[in-house]
Amino acid sequence: MHTLLQKKHARQPPKSSAPVRDNFAFSGQSRAVGNILRQGQSTGAVIQRLPFDPTNPEQRHPGSTLPYREATELVECIRIMGEENRDYCRQEVLGEAPPQPTHVNIPGISTPQPFGTRANAAGATNLRAGGVNVVFLPDAVSADPAMANRAQTSFSISAYNINYQASGGRITSFTGPGATSITIVTTYGGGVSAASTSGYGRGTTAADVQAGNTSLGFHEGRHGLDFMQFLNANPFPQFSGAVGMSVQAFEQAMQAYATARQQFNDDMDRFSETNTDCVGTTIDQFNAANGQHTTICQQQP
């Protein structure tokens, strides 16, 4: 009988009143600009997208570079609207379809969910990744003093059982390990919420600050997205035991499976730690500023 493998993603910063990590804040309101000045027109003129005319050599053809007019208008639109509205400009000037959203925000869950995901009556979501069932629980609040002024996004891998029957030193039948599920949840301790300011990692990088994504919820949501990215790129370990194996070989397969699950658990945690805690103001820098020496981000992958 093998028991639950559980790994909580948490490198515990010292208790302090300093900003704690993580949050989801959207900034940058889109400015609706319906017009772009055409080159050589007066300031009172408005621009409209030029209908595509295949007989017009000035207009672009598949695989060709943009003609001068469209290239100029696109540059001018981006200058007026800002780089964050590049997709809007390409839609207005070039007639390109807007990019489809890849994720959606589910109320009560810090991690953005794949577009089209819906929460159930309990507020949780359920999806597949890496060959396993993934459940995102609604964000939780903890009154544990150890969680004061901080948050954590953790995952747990479901327990499994492998039992076998043997005869003459050979496996005649077995059950398990069973379907695997991974549960992910973000927990906020006393003194912080999703709206608090991230103290380190994601939420503190130059790009995050420029975009206004500096909250604790944004940071924690990156951990959840890291977990999903890892699962999509790394299928969960499979048990290699089979009927007809010697008992010794089968038990070796059981041990190999247990080891692979634990390694998967550790690698998934480390992947998120590297991507979300060790960028911008790193967790080590944050801890040092609060009187604690750590080398989390200096570890070898």
pLDDT, residue 96, reads: 81
| 198 or 11, which is more confident | 198
What was the pLDDT predicted at 299?
64
- Residue 91 is predicted with a pLDDT of 82
Q: Which two tokens stand for residue 129?
A: 């990744």
pTM: 0.69
Which residue has tokens 């912080």? 192
With beta carbons less than 8 A apart as the criterion, state whether 38 and 198 touch. Answer: no
DSSP class of residue 139? P
Residue matched to tokens 């041990």? 255
**Measured at the alpha carbon of residue 212, what is the angle toward residues 210 and 218, in degrees to the nearest 5?**
125
pLDDT score at 82: 81
Return d(Cα 261, Cα 103) in angstroms, integer: 28
Whether the Cβ atoms of residue 77 and residue 36 lie closer than 8 Å to each other: yes
Beta strand pairing call for 132-136 and 125-129? antiparallel
Please, which residues have CB within 8 angstroms of residue 288's CB and are 6 or more apart in sequence?
294
Residue 97 pLDDT class (50, 70, 90 cuts): confident
Q: What is the pLDDT of residues 34-49, one digit of tens each?
A: 333 233 344 444 444 4
Per the prediction, the chain carries an average pLDDT of 81
Residue 252 has pLDDT above 80, yes or no: yes
pLDDT tens-digit map of 58-94: 444 444 467 888 888 888 888 888 877 878 888 888 8
